[in-house]
């Protein structure tokens, strides 16, 4: 490895450099991509123009009603219509949340689809999901959908062990018959390459995709097949130098540049079995898939899918602006999901009860001085969730003072100093040191004690 | 009337639960007298109450010794027109 040592003199200063071109606070931290990435593929260096992602029409697609429902009892029709409405609100008029897919097999499936479309939203566009069975296209046609996903499993685990095809050729012919049926029916097929990160890429995946591209040459652009890369078991990795079939950059290169599938017809669908789901999805965006398939709060089969709300914030970070996205609808959706019984862990990013709550006194002290010190971005503005302090034995006087000011809604010079909060802080500490308490103190308890121990402030800042 | 130093020592002894006779001007509140974080705040609040003054929080909490507190409070009392026995 080349010697890269060089001196690094201190750049002294008396004013902080808060790096606000990246950490603007009123937006999520931005991701500045300055240079191409290089990957060695088949022994040759290949450049990927990562900065170009800013100008590409990347988007989020949703499978909350399909993969998301495979991991839970079914939603009611009313619930799905409400969720669809909020998905539209998040994605905004530009359709950052571009599509969502529906099962079409039952009467309820079809009624849900009809009611969602009756809302009149342009986005997310409703698409279908069917098995790779010719007869199923009747359902897509009857539903009047322009596009449907179809399962085209591509690893030998599926081809031979699950689907029991006698050969790869028989499998490919079967899939292509269904694709042809879709094209005949005027429905754009979206081929879901299930288990692609465990497939024989050269032996099956690329020949199949070549054939799809060939079939697409004789149909109008609006019908040309799309390809969804399904990392069914979460085996995909983003690391440079990783081998196929696990390398996401190499998979995308093969399909995008060798087979010629344009980025706008490539989509990534991941699973979280190895905790890589979000970064793998973002990697797919950077290396050439325009669509990232997600579910709300990552809820999906087994360990789940790329979380839609994570993709929303990644999108903003990459694009450098909100692009019509309504991030507060993420909180609205989380509240709604909780209300219908979907559990969201307290520490879950962006929407968990405690995602921006600190209980360490030293962090609370930082929050009290400047909330940016321990808050990821302006969560009050973007999510309607001010940073909070959980009151425990670790909270300290700073944390109690922060809680009091948040409770009274006091900002800037109006904030109450910690000296004025000392009786409340003493009560909190005694709960643990004298009373031997082992649980956190609830907001309700603290409110009652604030009223008792800080009566002048209570009178001044509350109606009571 | 007790002097400022006597009153500071009396408040310190009460808040930190130590013998006032053992408190010396050079003693550090935290290191020598064992003041924890919340007690430092309680000390400042108790000094304000004892002397009928308002202290700037960061400045007051930056005072580390008993003698330093006597000087600081003397200055604040003069500035705020509070009668004291020096």
Integer Cα distance of B40 and B30 in angstroms: 8
Mean pLDDT, chain B, integer: 93
Q: Does B16 touch chain A (CB under 8 A)?
A: no
**Which residues of chain A make contact with B41, given a CB cutoff of 8 A?**
397, 418-419, 421-422, 425
- Per-residue pLDDT for chain A (464 aa), expressed as one digit of tens each? 678 899 999 999 999 999 999 999 999 999 999 999 999 999 999 999 999 999 999 999 999 999 888 778 889 999 999 999 999 999 999 999 999 999 998 999 999 999 999 999 999 999 999 887 888 888 898 899 999 999 999 999 999 999 999 999 999 999 999 999 999 989 999 999 999 999 999 999 999 999 999 999 999 999 999 999 999 999 999 999 999 999 999 999 999 999 999 999 999 999 999 999 999 999 999 999 999 999 999 999 999 999 999 999 999 999 999 999 999 999 999 999 999 998 999 999 999 988 998 876 666 667 667 889 889 999 999 999 998 888 888 888 988 998 899 889 898 889 999 999 999 999 999 999 999 998 888 888 999 999 999 999 999 998 75
Structure tokens at A157: 């685990």
ipTM higher than threshold 0.95: no
A200: helix, coil or strand? coil
Q: Does B41 touch chain A (CB under 8 A)?
A: yes
Structure tokens at A73: 């009892």
What's residue A61's pLDDT?
A: 98
Percent of chain B as helix, strand, coil, to the nearest 5: 60, 0, 40
Stretch 138-177 of chain A: residues touching chain B, C-beta under 8 Å: none
- Check: CB of residue A212 under 8 Å from CB of residue A191: yes
Integer Cα distance of A191 and A239 in angstroms: 26
Structure tokens at A79: 């619930």
Helices B4-16 and B66-79: crossing angle in degrees, nearest 10, is: 120
Residue contact B41–A418, C-beta within 8 A: yes
Give the DSSP letter string of A334-389: HHHHHHTT----TT-TTTSTTTTEE--HHHHHHHHH-GGGT-SS-HHHHHS---EE
What's residue A360's pLDDT?
A: 67
Beta strands A37-41 and A44-48: pairing type? Answer: antiparallel
Catalogue all structural domains in chain B, each as residue range(s) with its CATH number: 4-79 (1.10.1200.10)
CA A318 to chain centre: 13
Q: Report which of A183, A197, A292 is spatially closest to residue A254, judged by C-alpha positions.
A: A197
* Dihedral (CA of A205, A207, A210, A211) sign: negative
What is the distance in angstroms between the CA of the first residue and the CA of the last residue of chain A?
70
Beta strands A266-269 and A291-294: pairing type? Answer: parallel
A289: helix, coil or strand? coil
A175: burial class by Cβ within 10 Å (0-12, 13-18, 19+)? buried
DSSP bridge pairs for B28: B65
DSSP bridge pairs for A191: A150, A227
CA of A356 vs chain B CAs: smallest distance (Å) = 24
What's residue B46's pLDDT?
A: 96
- Check: CB of residue B57 under 8 Å from CB of residue B80: no
Beta strands A226-230 and A37-41: pairing type? Answer: unpaired
pTM: 0.85
Tokens 């020949």 sit at which residue? Answer: A207
* Fold of domain A37-339: TIM Barrel (3.20.20)
**Which residues of chain A make contact with B45, given a CB cutoff of 8 A?**
419-420, 422
Integer Cα distance of A455 and B13 in angstroms: 28
Q: Does A130 touch chain B (CB under 8 A)?
A: no
Q: Report which of A312, A317, A322, A316 is spatially closest to residue A350, judged by C-alpha positions.
A: A312
Contacting residues for A459 by C-beta, under 8 A, at least 6 apart? none
CA of A419 vs chain B CAs: smallest distance (Å) = 6
Residue contact A418–B57, C-beta within 8 A: yes
DSSP E strand stretches across A156-225: 188-193
Structure tokens at A149: 């996903």
- Check: CB of residue A246 under 8 Å from CB of residue A236: yes
Cβ-nearest to A426 among B42, B48, B57: B42
Domain ranges of chain A: 37-339, 357-461
Integer Cα distance of A190 and A150 in angstroms: 6
What is the distance in angstroms between the CA of the first residue and the CA of the last residue of chain B?
10
């Amino acid at each position: 490895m080349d010697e890269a040592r060089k001196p690094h003199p201190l750049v002294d200063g008396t004013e902080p450099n808060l790096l606000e071109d990246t950490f603007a606070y009123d937006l999520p931290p931005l991701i500045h991509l300055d240079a191409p990435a290089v990957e060695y593929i088949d022994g040759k260096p290949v450049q990927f123009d990562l900065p170009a992602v800013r100008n590409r029409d990347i988007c989020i697609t949703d499978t909350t009603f399909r993969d998301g429902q495979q991991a839970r009892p079914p939603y009611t029709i009313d619930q799905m219509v409400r969720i669809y409405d909020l998905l539209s609100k998040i994605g905004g008029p530009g359709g950052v949340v571009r599509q969502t897919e529906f099962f079409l097999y039952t009467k309820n499936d079809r009624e849900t689809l009809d009611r969602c479309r009756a809302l009149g939203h342009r986005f997310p566009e409703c698409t279908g999901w069917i098995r790779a069975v010719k007869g199923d296209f009747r359902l897509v046609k009857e539903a009047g959908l322009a596009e449907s996903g179809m399962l085209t499993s591509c690893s030998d685990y599926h081809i031979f062990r699950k689907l029991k095809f006698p050969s790869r050729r028989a499998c490919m012919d079967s899939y292509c018959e269904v694709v042809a049926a879709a094209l005949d029916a005027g429905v754009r097929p979206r081929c879901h390459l299930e288990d692609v990160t465990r497939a024989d890429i050269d032996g099956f995946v690329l020949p199949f995709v070549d054939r799809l591209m060939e079939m697409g040459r004789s149909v109008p652009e609006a019908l040309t097949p799309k390809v969804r890369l399904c990392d069914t078991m979460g085996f995909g990795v983003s690391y440079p130098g990783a081998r196929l079939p696990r390398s996401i950059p190499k998979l995308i290169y093969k399909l995008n540049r060798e087979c010629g599938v344009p980025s706008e017809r490539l989509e990534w669908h991941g699973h979280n079995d190895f905790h890589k789901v979000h970064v793998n999805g973002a990697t797919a965006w950077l290396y050439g898939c325009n669509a990232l398939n997600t579910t709300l709060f990552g809820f999906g089969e087994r360990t789940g899918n790329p979380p839609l709300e994570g993709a929303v914030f990644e999108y903003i970070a990459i694009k450098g602006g909100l692009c019509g996205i309504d991030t507060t609808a993420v909180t609205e959706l989380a509240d709604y999901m909780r209300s219908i019984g979907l559990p969201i862990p307290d520490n879950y990013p962006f929407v968990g009860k405690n995602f921006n709550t600190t209980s360490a006194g030293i962090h609370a002290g930082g929050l009290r001085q400047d909330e940016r010190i321990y808050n990821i971005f302006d969560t009050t503005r973007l999510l309607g969730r001010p940073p909070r302090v959980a009151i425990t034995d670790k909270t300290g006087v700073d944390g109690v003072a922060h809680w009091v000011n948040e409770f009274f809604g006091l900002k800037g010079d109006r904030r109450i100093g910690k000296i004025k909060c000392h009786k409340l802080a003493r009560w909190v500490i005694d709960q643990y040191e004298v009373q031997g308490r082992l649980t956190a103190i609830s907001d309700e308890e603290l409110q009652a004690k604030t009223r008792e121990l800080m009566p002048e402030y209570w009178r001044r800042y509350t109606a009571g | 009337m007790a002097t400022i130093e006597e009153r500071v020592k009396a408040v310190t002894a009460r808040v930190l639960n130590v013998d006032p006779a053992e408190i010396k001007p050079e003693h550090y509140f935290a290191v020598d007298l064992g003041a924890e974080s919340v007690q430092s705040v309680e000390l400042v609040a108790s000094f304000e109450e004892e002397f009928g003054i308002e202290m700037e929080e960061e400045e007051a909490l930056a005072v580390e010794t008993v003698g330093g507190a006597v000087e600081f409070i003397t200055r604040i009392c003069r500035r705020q027109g509070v009668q004291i026995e020096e």
